[in-house]
A = this chain, B = another copy of it.
Amino acid sequence: MKCRTVALISDGTGITAETLCNGLLSQFEGIEFRYVRYPFTDSLEKADACLQRLTELAQEDGVRPLVVMTLMDAQLTVHLRQADALFLDLFDTFIAPLEQELGRKSTHSVGLSHGQETREYARRIAAMNFALAHDDGISAADFKNADVILVGVSRSGKTPTSLYLSLQFGLKAANYPLIPEDFERGCLPESLLAFRDKLFGLSIAPEQLHRIREERRPHSHYASIENCRAEVAAAERLMRREGIDWLDMTSRSIEEMSVHLLQLIHKKQEAVNRKP
């Protein structure tokens, strides 16, 4: 298999560039891509070290490297472009058309929106602390401050989804496990009834739930396919009866689930706001 080196050069973490790059390169079969990462490249010294390394990489591989760049500082970009490489410049490519469309020059500076970022960042960290403190029904005391409360059977994906919603989108996401007592009672527990508008459900195929639970407690009643089938059916009956929207986790990643949930949350908020 052919192998090509991909250098990721960023003045920040480079995480966004890498994710986008993964999507692009997954479109090419039969080639193996080797990543080398240069995050926090924010000075001429660091850019110069990158430049030298790019030249070495071309010699080692016998073919020029691919360079995926996100650098705000045009001076560093110009310096790096001396290398023999294919440059995919995620900022520079789009800054010129944006300048023309918006009728003004870009500031070309790193971390400009820091004041706002700091507030947004504090919000995300606070949301994450909230999600941890309200994981798995630990505490119902603060449900009134939650943006969303996820319900579903144990191991249906509530915890990772809550954490992702908080960390990525700054939503205060609590979660509450539906357990056999809830099914026997046949209605939601008292602590949740006042917050019906914030409730969203997760469901999952019983076979997948069985596999996940087996890893945790092998050969248990809890993990058995019969019990998983019964719990999933009872949870869906309960959610249907209570009018809780739910989504199926089976073939979704937590990122996909979170964005689907965001759409549901926005729709519901709009509906609530429209009420007289």
**Residues of A bordering B, CB below 8 Å:** 4, 12-17, 19-20, 22-31, 39-40, 66, 70, 72, 86, 88, 90-91, 93-95, 97-98, 101-102, 104, 106-109, 112-113, 117, 121, 125, 128, 132, 135, 159-160, 163-164, 167-168, 253-256, 258-260, 263
Given the complex, which residues of B lie within 8 Å of A106, measured CB to CB?
27-28
Q: State how many angstroms separate the Cβ of A258 from the closest Cβ of chain B.
A: 8
Name the 3 nearest CB pairs between A and B, nearest first: A27-B106, A26-B113, A13-B259
A29: B residues at CB distance < 8 A: 107, 112
Beyond A27-B95, A28-B107, 9 additional contacts (C-beta under 8 Å) are: A4-B102, A15-B168, A23-B91, A27-B106, A27-B107, A27-B109, A29-B107, A86-B101, A163-B167
A109 closest partner in B (C-beta) = B27
Contact of A39 among B12, B13, B263 (CB under 8 A): B263
5 contacts between A and B (CB under 8 A): A24-B94, A27-B72, A31-B104, A66-B101, A90-B90
Partner of A16, one of B19, B26, B31, B91: B19
CB within 8 Å for A104 and B30 given contacts A14-B259, A255-B15? yes
